[in-house]
């Protein structure tokens, strides 16, 4: 699944923070989205998922042979198409245990039945097995309880997105606050799903080693515009990227 942006802009009180002439995201397995602080990376993912209302422009989703504009949709409808975004800021799931939080993320709305107020919903064995597999891979300090640290909350946010089985997963600085070995494990899981053809990924990261070692295509955003895109090697060698971002 791929998203194409055309003439996509976002302004706040007349100041334009995003201005994408023409670009597409999600067509290359794992893609990187890099750029300085304040470049507009999170705003771009927000506009692509309709969590942020763009000022002008269009975003289309292309899935197999069908292309449709997202601009009249709400963000939950975009999510139902399979475009799912992790959050840059830590999310709190304080009222749900880790397992319930994963169960709730994975339960489609038609199964969230009002009758379950009186009657326990049927146990979804397949989902429970999937949750067991995730929890054995990512050890939480209290797996039967709640996500405790900032790192655990960040990890739970990522796992909640993955268990939904997205077609396009947008990750906003997933590794910030995660220990290195957990980051490696998250990227391994993501890569497995991409290799299996289950999803494509766009990942915002300031950790460039992670970008170079995991991405097959990279977009460079600066002052709201995509100034360069290409393979990691081409991006590394690009003079504009070096001048504006890598402090050369
Ligand atoms: N709600 C808002 N109101 C006004 N300005 C905003 C708002 N949200 C973002 N901005 C501005 O838009 C610009 C782009 O912000 P954005 O968060 O998209 O950058 P970013 O590339 O994700 O940065 P970082 O790497 O620090 O996360 C910044 O100058 C920011 O101050
Ligand atoms: Mg950001």
Domain residue limits, the chain: 2-92+165-244
Ligand 2 centroid–CA 212 distance in Å is 19
User: What ligand 1 atom has the least distance to the C-alpha of 39?
Assistant: 21
The vertex-3 CA angle with 194 and 205, nearest 5°, equals 60
Query: In the predicted model, is pLDDT for residue 93 greater than 70?
Result: no
For 130-150, the pLDDT digits (tens) are 999 999 999 899 989 999 888
Between strands 217-222 and 30-34, the pairing is parallel
Q: How confident is the model at residue 109 (pLDDT cuts 50, 70, 90)?
A: low
d(CA 59, CA 49): 9
pTM above 0.85, yes or no: yes
Q: How confident is the model at residue 124 (pLDDT cuts 50, 70, 90)?
A: confident
3-state class (DSSP) for residue 87: coil
Ligand 1 centroid–CA 130 distance in Å is 36
Q: How confident is the model at residue 90 (pLDDT cuts 50, 70, 90)?
A: confident
User: What ligand 1 atom has the least distance to the C-alpha of 173?
Assistant: 27
Nearest CA to ligand 1 atom 18: 40
Q: Which of 113-117, 166-170, 188-192 has the lowest mean pLDDT?
A: 113-117
pLDDT of residue 247: 65
76 class by beta-carbon count within 10 Å (0-12 exposed, 13-18 middle, 19+ buried): exposed
d(CA 185, CA 140): 13
Nearest CA to ligand 1 atom 2: 12
For 16-29, the pLDDT digits (tens) are 999 999 999 999 99
Give all strands of the β-sheet with 217-222 in edge-to-edge order: 83-85, 168-172, 200-204, 30-34, 217-222, 225-230
Domain at 2-92+165-244: CATH architecture: 3-Layer(aba) Sandwich (3.40)
d(CA 103, CA 164): 10
Q: Which of 6-10, 90-94, 158-162, 182-186 has the lowest mean pLDDT?
A: 90-94
Ligand 2 centroid–CA 108 distance in Å is 29
pLDDT of residue 195: 96
For 194-231, the pLDDT digits (tens) are 999 999 999 999 999 999 999 999 999 999 999 999 99
């Amino acid at each position: 699944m791929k998203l194409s942006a055309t003439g996509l802009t976002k302004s706040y009180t007349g100041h334009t923070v995003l201005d994408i002439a023409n670009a597409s995201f999600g067509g290359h397995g794992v893609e990187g989205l890099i750029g300085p602080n304040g470049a507009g990376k999170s705003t771009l993912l927000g506009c692509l998922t309709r969590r942020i209302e763009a000022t002008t422009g269009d975003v289309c989703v292309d899935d197999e042979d069908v292309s449709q504009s997202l601009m009249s949709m709400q963000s939950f409808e975009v999510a139902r198409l399979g475009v799912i975004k992790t959050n840059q800021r830590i999310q709190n799931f304080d009222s749900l245990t880790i397992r319930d939080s994963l169960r709730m993320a994975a339960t489609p709305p038609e199964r969230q039945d009002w009758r379950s107020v009186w009657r326990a919903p049927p146990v979804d064995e397949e989902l429970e097995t999937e949750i067991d597999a995730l929890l054995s891979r990512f050890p939480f300090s209290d797996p039967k309880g709640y996500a405790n640290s900032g790192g655990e909350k960040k990890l739970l946010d990522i796992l909640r997105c993955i268990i939904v089985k997205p077609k396009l997963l947008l990750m906003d600085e997933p590794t910030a606050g995660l220990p290195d070995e957990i980051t490696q494990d998250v990227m391994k899981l993501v890569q497995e799903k991409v290799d299996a053809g289950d999803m494509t990924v766009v990942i915002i990261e300031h950790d460039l080693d992670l970008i170079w070692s995991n991405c097959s295509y990279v977009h460079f955003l600066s002052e709201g515009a995509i100034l360069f895109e290409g393979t990691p090697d081409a991006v590394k060698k690009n003079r504009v990227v070096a001048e504006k971002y890598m402090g050369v």
